[in-house]
Amino acid sequence: MTAPILELRGVNKSFGPIDVLFDISLTVRAGEVLCLLGDNGAGKSTLIKILSGVYQPTSGQILMDGQPTSFPNPRAASDKGIATVHQFGGTFPLMSIGRSFFVGVEPARGWGPFKRYDRKTANAVAVKAVRDFGITRIDDGDRLVGGLSGGERQSLAIARAVHFGARVLILDEPTAALGVKQATHVLRIVNEAKRRGLAVVFITHQVMHAMAVGDHFAVLIRGAVAADFKKGEKTREEITDLMAGGASMSSLEAEIEGYMASHGGHPPPPAH
Ligand SMILES: Nc1ncnc2c1ncn2[C@@H]1O[C@H](COP(=O)(O)OP(=O)(O)OP(=O)(O)O)[C@@H](O)[C@H]1O
Ligand SMILES: [Mg+2]
């Protein structure tokens, strides 16, 4: 088997006296979606900040294509093809689609439209990249990003990363704030990125979203990998319970769903 694109070996992270990550070992492969699951505060964001050059590990190793490497800053990670899409797409609401697509892509790197901003070319390239991902409702690069739906913004950010040659796509809760239809859209785009051979790290609280795209799953509990398994090896109930640290959450979840089904979609009132 070829070496994974990214690998963590025995990574620890502390902030002063606070230990946040313990002995994390994980692999991220091309054409595969790794879902990182875990409750609030489990260490998911800290882990992806290590993968994207925002933080340095306190100890342990990062390997890329089998070679030890380091990402001293976010730019170093992005130069090596690691693209991180933050929640809400990390885009700029008051910028046009075309503008935002080319933000941060300096002319020095040889990008034509920015030697002098060529609005028409920038718009055409951006709209084509997004439409190639199946977002056919976007046809005008002059539209402001702020007017796009949450799912469209995420899609734009993902299309942008792929367009500029990302090999690893890190998505921190891309579907958290989205409705069912938009989340489905984003999940479809994640599958398309995978089909194109990218490695995807997908962080979510939602087990159903993870199961829709994941090939490989890692559950973090209090900073440690509590479980690491492949698609089909665990049921939805088992994953839900694992995420809650072994508590039987799946039965509670089923109870709430049952209540909502018989109460016109309304969640149960809070307990007094
Ligand atoms: N810079 C920091 N200094 C000290 N502690 C930190 C720092 N950053 C994160 N932590 C702590 O590390 C733990 C993990 O945080 P992290 O943000 O990685 O969790 P998470 O899994 O992303 O949670 P969420 O699901 O809520 O986004 C938390 O207890 C947090 O308080
Ligand atoms: Mg987080």
pLDDT tens per residue, range 135-171: 788 889 999 988 888 778 888 888 888 888 899 999 9
Higher-confidence position of 16 and 186: 16
* pLDDT band at residue 103 using 50, 70 and 90 as cut-offs: confident
Using a 6 Å CB cutoff, which residues line ligand 1?
Answer: 15, 18, 20, 38, 40-46
- Ligand 1, atom 4, residue with closest C-alpha: 15
The pTM (predicted TM-score) of the whole model is: 0.83
Nearest to 105 by CA among 63, 131, 75, 147: 75
* pLDDT of the residue at 1: 65
* pLDDT of the residue at 132: 84
Residues 12 and 111: their CA atoms lie apart, in Å, by 38
DSSP state of 147: G
Closest-approaching ligand to the CA atom of 36: 1
- Token readout for 228 is 């690491």
Residues 114 and 121: their CA atoms lie apart, in Å, by 10
Closest-approaching ligand to the CA atom of 38: 1
Per the prediction, the chain carries an average pLDDT of 86
**pLDDT per residue as tens digits for the range 38-51:** 888 899 999 999 99
* pLDDT of the residue at 108: 47
Nearest to 213 by CA among 227, 195, 226: 195
pLDDT at 248 over 60: no
- Ligand 1, atom 28, residue with closest C-alpha: 41
Residues 26 and 192: their CA atoms lie apart, in Å, by 23
* pLDDT band at residue 31 using 50, 70 and 90 as cut-offs: very high
Q: Which is the closest atom of ligand 1 to the Cα of 47? A: 18
Residues 128 and 122: their CA atoms lie apart, in Å, by 10
Strands 6-15 and 18-28: antiparallel
**pLDDT per residue as tens digits for the range 184-209:** 888 988 999 999 999 999 998 888 88
CATH 3.30.1540.20, domain 6-234, yes or no: no
Out of 12, 46, 47, 172, give the residue to mutate to test ligand 1, the one with the largest number of ligand atoms within 8 Å of its CB: 46
Centre of ligand 1 to C-alpha 18, Å, is 10
Closest-approaching ligand to the CA atom of 20: 1
Q: What percent of the chain has pLDDT over 90?
A: 43
* pLDDT of the residue at 249: 55
CA 30 distance to own-chain centroid = 15
Nearest to 225 by CA among 78, 24, 2: 24
Nearest to 135 by CA among 151, 118, 121: 151
Strands 33-38 and 199-204: parallel
Q: Which is the closest atom of ligand 1 to the Cα of 43? A: 18
Question: For residue 144, which amino acid is it?
Answer: L
- Token readout for 144 is 């402001």
